[in-house]
C-alpha cells in the first residue's frame, strides 16, 4: 500500500503569489499577471508546453498574442504580447539547452527561436506559413532545432505526410515511408523511445487509440494495435513539444490516467480511486523528467474556478502490483531552478493528511458521478455555466450554438441525439463526413475540458452497435 498526501508544490490559480489586483507589475523585463487577468486569458484559444526540468509551463493565446509562463510556485508572468497578425495558431516546445522556446506555425511553416533570458525572437527558417497541417503530431530534438511532424488537417483533407525541419536546412522536407500507413483521421502525436530510437505514433479518433511504431533506420511503420478507451482525449488546449515517454517504466503517457505499456503492448488505466487525490478531477497532459523520475502534469482541479492546476508526481511499482501514483515530498521547501538563472521557487506546504491509496489493476475505470449542480445563463455575447461554486464562460459563436441546442434537448426531455442532428443544428456547413467528425470531436473535447467534467460523450447505439450517438449527462448534473 502506498500512502499519499496532497502534493507539496502545486500551482493553484488562486495562489498568494499573484500580483496586486489593481494593476500589472510594470517592469522592464516581464509582467506578473493578476488572478483576474489569468482567468480572462484562459477563456481564449490556447496552446501550451511543459518544461519538466524547471517546472514551468509555457502558454500562447492566439486571440491576444500573449506568451505566458506559469510556474509551479503559482506565479504567472506575461513574457511577450506578440502581433496576432504575425503569430496566429502556434506550436511551441521548451529548449532546455538554450533556455528558450521553439515556436512554429500550427499549420507548419515558419519556425522561431525565443530566448527566455534576453527575450529575443529570431526566425530560423527560409520557408512560409503553409496553413496545411493543423493539429499535426510532433517531436522536437534540440540539436539543430529539429522538428519531426506527422499528419494534421488542412486544405479540406487529412495529411499523411512525414515532415522534418532543422536549422541547417532551414526548410521542411518530406520523409518517404512505407509499411502500415495510418488511415482515417490523422490526429495524434509522435513520441521517441530514447532507448531504441524508434518513434511511436499515437492516433486518437473518437474513443479509440491506434498505436504505430516507426523504425528510424528505414522509416517502416508497423501497426501495433487498436485500443478502445471509455473517455475522450482532453488536454486542456493544444499541446506540443511534450516528453510523453518514461524510459524507466517504458510507458508512453496518452492522456487522463491512460498509459501505453511498450513491453506488454497494452493500454492501462491507472485510475484515481474514490478517496485518492480528492483535489484532482483528471490529468490532462504532462512531461517526464528522466533525472528526477517524475512527471510535471497539468490537471483538472475540482476546487478552482478555472479547474486547472500544475503538479508533480511519480509512478512506481509496488510489490509487483500494477504501477501506482506516489506523491513527491521534497527534502526542503526550496527548488533550485535547473536553468541556473538564480531564481528560488518557494513552495507552500500543503502536507495535511494521509490517505490510503487502493491499487487498481488495468482496464478502464467506471466514470464517477459528479455531485456538482450545473446550470447556465445565455446572454447576447456569452454563456455563463455554473457548476456548484465554479463559473465557466463560453463566448464563441459555436459555443453559444452548442448551449442553445443543449437547452432545446433538455426542454424536450432528451438526453441523447443522433450525430447528424447535432451536426446540422450546431456545426457549420462542411464538405464531408470526415470534416464533421473532426469538428464535432474538437468541440466535444473543448466543452468537456472547460467544464472539467465529462458532460458530453460519444457512445455506441444500444440498438445497433455499428452506429454512435451523443449522450449529455445533465441528468446527473443539472438542478432545476
CATH number at residue 440: 1.10.10
Q: Is the residue at 443 inside a domain?
A: yes
- The structural domain count of the chain equals 2
Angle between helices 397-411 and 419-426 (to 10 degrees): 130
Cell numbers describing residue 231: 473517455
Q: Is the residue at 216 inside a domain?
A: yes
Same domain, 247 and 296: yes
In the prediction, which pLDDT does 79 show?
Answer: 95
Strands 238-239, 46-51: pairing kind = parallel
Same domain, 212 and 350: yes
Same domain, 353 and 415: no
Q: Cβ distance 329 to 196 under 8 Å? A: no
Domain end (from 327, 357, 387): 357
Q: Is the residue at 369 inside a domain?
A: no
Average pLDDT, the chain: 76
In the prediction, which pLDDT does 361 show?
Answer: 36
Give the DSSP H or E segment for 285: strand 280-289
Task: Please report, rounded to a whole number, the percentage of residues in the chain having pLDDT higher than 70.
Answer: 74
Same domain, 22 and 86: yes
The pLDDT tens digits for 228-285 are 887 766 676 678 889 999 998 899 999 888 899 999 999 988 877 555 566 777 788 8
334 Cβ partners below 8 Å, 6+ apart? 344, 345, 346, 347
Same domain, 353 and 379: no
Same domain, 17 and 158: yes
Q: Which domain holds residue 250?
A: 2-357
Name the DSSP letter for residue 448: H
Cα 106 to Cα 91: distance, rounded to the nearest angstrom? 5
| Residue 410 reports pLDDT greater than 50 | yes
Same domain, 189 and 287: yes
Q: Is the residue at 363 inside a domain?
A: no
248 Cβ partners below 8 Å, 6+ apart? 290, 293
Same domain, 10 and 122: yes
Q: Is the residue at 126 inside a domain?
A: yes
Cα 134 to Cα 90: distance, rounded to the nearest angstrom? 9
Cα 9 to Cα 309: distance, rounded to the nearest angstrom? 10
Cell numbers describing residue 368: 464517477
In the prediction, which pLDDT does 142 show?
Answer: 92
| Residue 479 reports pLDDT greater than 60 | no
Q: What pLDDT band is residue 189 in, cutting at 50, 70 and 90? A: very high
In the prediction, which pLDDT does 208 show?
Answer: 85
In the prediction, which pLDDT does 355 show?
Answer: 31
- Residue 294: how many CB atoms within 10 A of its CB? 21
Cell numbers describing residue 1: 500500500
Dihedral through CA 471, CA 255, CA 228, CA 326, nearest 10?
-110
Question: Is residue 168 classed exposed, middle or buried when 0-12, 13-18 and 19+ CB atoms within 10 A define those classes?
Answer: exposed
Q: What is the pTM of this model?
A: 0.64
Give the DSSP H or E segment for 173: strand 172-174
Cell numbers describing residue 49: 508546453
CATH number at residue 280: 2.120.10.30
Among the residue ranges 1-10, 213-222, 258-267, 449-458, the one predicted with the least confidence is 1-10
Q: Is the residue at 85 inside a domain?
A: yes
List own/partner pairs for 141-147 with CB under 8 A and 24 or more apart: 141/192, 142/95, 142/96, 142/97, 142/98, 144/168, 145/95, 145/102, 145/111, 145/113, 147/93, 147/102, 147/104, 147/111
Q: Report, as an integer, the average pLDDT of 356-363.
A: 35
| Residue 311 reports pLDDT greater than 60 | yes
In the prediction, which pLDDT does 236 show?
Answer: 65
Cα 171 to Cα 43: distance, rounded to the nearest angstrom? 34
Amino acid at each position: 500500500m502506498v500512502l499519499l498526501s496532497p502534493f507539496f508544490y502545486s500551482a493553484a490559480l488562486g495562489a498568494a503569489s499573484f500580483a496586486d489586483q489593481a494593476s500589472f507589475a510594470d517592469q522592464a523585463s516581464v509582467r506578473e499577471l493578476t488572478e483576474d487577468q489569468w482567468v480572462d486569458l484562459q477563456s481564449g484559444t490556447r496552446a501550451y508546453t511543459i518544461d519538466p526540468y524547471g517546472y514551468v509551463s509555457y502558454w500562447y493565446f492566439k486571440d491576444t498574442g500573449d506568451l505566458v509562463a506559469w510556474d509551479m510556485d503559482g506565479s504567472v508572468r506575461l513574457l511577450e504580447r506578440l502581433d496576432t497578425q504575425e503569430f496566429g495558431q502556434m506550436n511551441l516546445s521548451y529548449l532546455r539547452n538554450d533556455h528558450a522556446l521553439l515556436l512554429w506555425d500550427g499549420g507548419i511553416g515558419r519556425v522561431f527561436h525565443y530566448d527566455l533570458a534576453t527575450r529575443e525572437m529570431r526566425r530560423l527558417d527560409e520557408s512560409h506559413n503553409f496553413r496545411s497541417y493543423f493539429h499535426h503530431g510532433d517531436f522536437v530534438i534540440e540539436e539543430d532545432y529539429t522538428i519531426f511532424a506527422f499528419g494534421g488537417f488542412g486544405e479540406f483533407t487529412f495529411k499523411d505526410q512525414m515532415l522534418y525541419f532543422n536549422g541547417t536546412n532551414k526548410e521542411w522536407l518530406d520523409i518517404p515511408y512505407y509499411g502500415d500507413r495510418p488511415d482515417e483521421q490523422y490526429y495524434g502525436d509522435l513520441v521517441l523511445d530514447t532507448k531504441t530510437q524508434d518513434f511511436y505514433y499515437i492516433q486518437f479518433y473518437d474513443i479509440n487509440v491506434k498505436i504505430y511504431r516507426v523504425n528510424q533506420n528505414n522509416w517502416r511503420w508497423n501497426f501495433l494495435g487498436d485500443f478502445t478507451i471509455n473517455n475522450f482525449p482532453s488536454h486542456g488546449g493544444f499541446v506540443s513539444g511534450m516528453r510523453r515517454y518514461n524510459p524507466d517504466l517504458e510507458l508512453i503517457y496518452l492522456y487522463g490516467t491512460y498509459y501505453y505499456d511498450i513491453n506488454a503492448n497494452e493500454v492501462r488505466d491507472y485510475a484515481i480511486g474514490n478517496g485518492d487525490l480528492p483535489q484532482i478531477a483528471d490529468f490532462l497532459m504532462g512531461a517526464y523528467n528522466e533525472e528526477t523520475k517524475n512527471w510535471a502534469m497539468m490537471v483538472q482541479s475540482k476546487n478552482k474556478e478555472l479547474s486547472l492546476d500544475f503538479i508533480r508526481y511519480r509512478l512506481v511499482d509496488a510489490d509487483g502490483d500494477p504501477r501506482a501514483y506516489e506523491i513527491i515530498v521534497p527534502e526542503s521547501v526550496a527548488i533550485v531552478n535547473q536553468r541556473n538563472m538564480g531564481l528560488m521557487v518557494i513552495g507552500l506546504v500543503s502536507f495535511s493528511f494521509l490517505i490510503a491509496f487502493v491499487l487498481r489493476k488495468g482496464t478502464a475505470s467506471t466514470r464517477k458521478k459528479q455531485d456538482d449542480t450545473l446550470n447556465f445563463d445565455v446572454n447576447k455575447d456569452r454563456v455563463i455555466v455554473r457548476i456548484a461554486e465554479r463559473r465557466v464562460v463560453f463566448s464563441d459563436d459555436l459555443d453559444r450554438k452548442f448551449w442553445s441546442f443543449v437547452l432545446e434537448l433538455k426542454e424536450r426531455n432528451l438526453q441523447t441525439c443522433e450525430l447528424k442532428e447535432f451536426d446540422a443544428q450546431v456545426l457549420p456547413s462542411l464538405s464531408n463526413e470526415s470534416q464533421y467528425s473532426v469538428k464535432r470531436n474538437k468541440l466535444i473535447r473543448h466543452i468537456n475540458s472547460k467544464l472539467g467534467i465529462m458532460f458530453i460523450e460519444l457512445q455506441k447505439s444500444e440498438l445497433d452497435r455499428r452506429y454512435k450517438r451523443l449522450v449529455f449527462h445533465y441528468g446527473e448534473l443539472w438542478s432545476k
